[in-house]
Amino acid sequence: MKGGLMQGRVRVASLVITDMLCVFFAWAATVVAYWCLGFGDYDPAEYVRFWPVALLFVVFNMLVRLYHGNVVYPSLPLGPVEEFRRLVASSVTVHLIVMAFLGFSRQQEEVSRFVLIASGLLLAGLSQPFRDVARWAMKRFGIGSIPCFIVGSGDLARQIVQECENSAFLGCRVVGSFDDGGKSIPGVERLGGLRDVVRMGRAMDVKRLLACYDERLLKEQLTTLVRHFQFIDYFPTRRAFPVIGSRLVAVGGFGGIELVNQSCMKALRWEKVAMDFLLSVAAIFVCLPLFILIPVLIKLTSRGPVFYRHHRLGKDGRPIKIWKFRSMYMDAEERLATILENDPAARAEWEENFKLKNDPRITPFGRFLRKTSLDEIPQLFNVFLGEMAIVGPRPIVEDEVKYYGGRYELFSRVKPGITGLWQVSGRSDTGYDRRVSLDCYYVLNWNPWMDLWVITRTVSCVLLMRGAH
């Protein structure tokens, strides 16, 4: 079997096996928890006799996820949010099928409803993390990486190459570029012009083509390229439109893209308001012990007030006051001025990102608060009052508006959030321009599934303490 096809099959097989392991883990963990909590009359070992039920989970899961060959195992990922939505949908479908099967076979009383429901919820929540680990392992050990060509050499092509190199999620490895202008992409060998693509694809057994070329120049060769490449992914050079929620449409013999603005739908807007209110109330209740413990520790470790209040811009540019647990010394500004004056490297880092990785203003306990993001939990009250959202663009000060340029009007359409795409995409390790792009991407592509995905990713980032300084 040839290399390109083999790598694709290895990747899909790895994800299938990962999903099977996740199903068995969710089932086993729920059975053990059920027994440890004292709810069941059975020893966990006795649940082994119900192994056909666990097998049903696996079989139905594979059938649902392999439906039409691309429901959850597409040739190229459709994005983490869409994958998350499909994984949750498939998990729910699997459990409904299993419960219906047990009902018809009159075995429902023999299997705890707690085990069925809890394992379903656990499967829905763990499917994405299990896949993340599998993809990280494949990238780490160099397996399941699908070779592809890229046509074009502009900024968009360079950004896509960088994403392919950095992202374990995509699983693509660009092995050659083609451009009629003779230009190349750093780190990628230029193999010729557009007329050389088919010949090199045959020679190197490459089945996928990433096209970032001007449509007028590409369409002359498109018919030939389609005959020789199994997959061609075309990326328009103008990308300022929503990705999530858009779909292909056909009018007669003409194809197009329907762009759906989710934020214009009143029902979805009210759904977000309701979700923010309910989540903030629940989170405040859960965090009550922290609201007692953290102020005591702040007072014991440094002088000054417990809370830090700062002004930010809210929805439509209205000023709001955001609360945090204080994590800095009282003379923070003097400390910052001193290091910026005496350390050129720190000054350059500050001018680029308005942040310092080794910030001298932060107290030792404050560093822990920031690393765990616990300094931000008072913002739950901002959400409760309707000034912020659980998920949204990061709140900015008025001096930052100039860096958004014409994009600020788009940015200000929604409430700022406690967490967002920036926080789950590297946070303080992310450059300022990238932050702005992520914020605008969120506004253009917002939907309830994106919020749920960001919340689950935030929990993972907080537990692993990734990207916070």
pLDDT digits (tens, 9 = 90+) for 326-346: 988 888 778 777 877 777 877
Residue 324: strand pairing partners: 308
Looking at residue 418, its pLDDT comes to 92
Residue 353: pLDDT band (50, 70, 90) is low
Looking at residue 166, its pLDDT comes to 79
Asked if 183 and 160 touch (Cβ cutoff 8 Å), the reply is no
Looking at residue 448, its pLDDT comes to 87
Residue 1: pLDDT band (50, 70, 90) is very low
Please state the pTM of the whole predicted model: 0.74
pLDDT tens per residue across span 448-460: 888 988 988 887 7
Residue percentage of the chain with pLDDT more than 90: 12
Reading the block at residue 136, the tokens are 């990280």
Report the pLDDT averaged over residues 355-370.
82
Q: Which helix (H) or strand (E) holds 367?
A: helix 364-372
Q: Which helix (H) or strand (E) holds 308?
A: strand 307-313
Residue 11: pLDDT band (50, 70, 90) is confident
Looking at residue 241, its pLDDT comes to 56
Top pLDDT among 48 and 129 is at: 129
pLDDT at 88 over 50: yes
142-151, 177-186, 332-341: which range is least confident on average?
332-341
Top pLDDT among 142 and 103 is at: 142
Q: Which of 280, 328, 332 is nearest to 308 (CA)?
A: 328
Asked if 315 and 413 touch (Cβ cutoff 8 Å), the reply is yes
Q: Give CA–CA dist 440/442, Å, rounded.
A: 5
Range list for CATH 3.40.50.20 in the chain? 146-239
pLDDT at 294 over 90: yes
Report the pLDDT averaged over residues 57-64.
66
Q: Which helix (H) or strand (E) holds 119?
A: helix 113-141
Q: Give CA–CA dist 184/195, Å, rounded.
A: 16
pLDDT tens per residue across span 261-289: 676 677 888 888 999 999 999 999 999 99
- The CATH code belonging to domain 146-239 is 3.40.50.20
Report the pLDDT averaged over residues 96-124.
75
**For residue 104, what are the contacts with CB-CB under 8 A and spacing of at least 6?**
none
State the CB neighbour count (10 A cutoff) for residue 271. 14
pLDDT at 46 over 80: no
Q: What is the mean pLDDT of the chain?
A: 79
Report the pLDDT averaged over residues 131-148.
85
pLDDT at 70 over 60: no
pLDDT tens per residue across span 222-245: 777 777 888 888 887 655 555 666
Reading the block at residue 386, the tokens are 């309707």
